[in-house]
Amino acid sequence: MCSLEVNGKERTYHVQLPSGYSSSKPYPVIFQFHPWGGSAEGSLTMYQLNSKIPDAIYVSPQGLPAGGSSPGWANSNGEDIAFTKAMLADVQSKYCVDNARIFSTGFSYGGMMSFAIGCEMGGVLRAIAPMAGALYSAMNCKGTGPAVAMWGSHGTSDSVVPLADGRAALAKILQQNHCGTETTPVDPSPCVAYQGCDEGFPVIWCEWDGDHGIPSFGSSAVAAFFKQF
């Protein structure tokens, strides 16, 4: 467990290094943000990426109480964005990081935080993979920052985060990446790829038949998406 003071508050997170870590080899960094009521410990295994992308540095942060006493990513006054930047700077100072491959994933509030840093840290983040996310952590997202690649998913019958809110967040990334409105089907079904996006910054969107959750294909698809960069 690591700790930093950010905006006068102690913030904590876990760092997992790949087995056989070498200080002379640059590694991608993958942020794993937990859902509302979750924990940094839980996100160590929740997304099941470690076995699929073993040669990466994983950073799993702990959220602050949001909406009562349950931890989440309300990002009040930008404090969670500041925390993310501080974590990344700390990891970059201690380990050998491939700065061209900084990624983030998360479910629910974790997806919202991934949308937030995709919106506000484009040009730093190479790609994000929000699942059942929205703009609740980035209500002022303009969609005008540097491009960031995205793989996103949302259940069509999500009873916690309305699909319309997920689509609103998607629209900001599409705007950011200068994508068109035309889509083509891609694997796994029912995912689609938006056409006309800035070169090297694809946007994949998967509206799947389900409630508020991580789709069965989520882990494999996110891993495949990140590994292309």
CATH code of the domain containing 103: 3.40.50.1820
One-letter amino acid at 78 equals G
Band the pLDDT of 69: cuts 50, 70, 90. Answer: confident
Angstrom distance (rounded) from CA 20 to CA 4: 26
Relative to beta strand 191-194, strand 183-185 is antiparallel
- Give the rounded percent of residues in the chain with a pLDDT score beyond 90: 97
Query: Would you say 107 and 46 are in contact if contact means Cβ atoms under 8 Å apart?
Result: yes
Asked if the model's pLDDT at residue 217 lies above 90, the reply is yes
Q: How many CB atoms lie within 10 A of CB 68?
A: 8
β partners of residue 102:
29
pLDDT given for residue 67 in this prediction? 66
Span 13-19, average pLDDT: 97
Asked if the model's pLDDT at residue 80 lies above 80, the reply is yes
Q: What angle do CA 152, 156, 157 make, to 5 degrees?
A: 130
Span 114-118, average pLDDT: 97
- Give the rounded percent of residues in the chain with a pLDDT score beyond 70: 99
Q: Which residues contact 151 (CB under 8 A, 6 or more apart)?
A: 127, 128, 129, 204, 206, 221, 222, 225
Which phi and psi (to 5°) does residue 191 adopt? Answer: -75, 150
pLDDT tens digits, one per residue of 157-186: 999 999 999 999 999 999 999 999 999 999
Tell me the residue range of the domain where 24 lies: 2-227
H or E element in which residue 203 lies? strand 203-208
Number of domains in the chain: 1
Span 191-217, average pLDDT: 98
Q: Which of 95, 97, 33, 36 is closest to 59 using CA atoms?
A: 33
Mean pLDDT of the chain: 96
pLDDT given for residue 66 in this prediction? 74
pLDDT tens digits, one per residue of 120-146: 999 999 999 999 999 999 988 999 999
β partners of residue 30:
58, 103
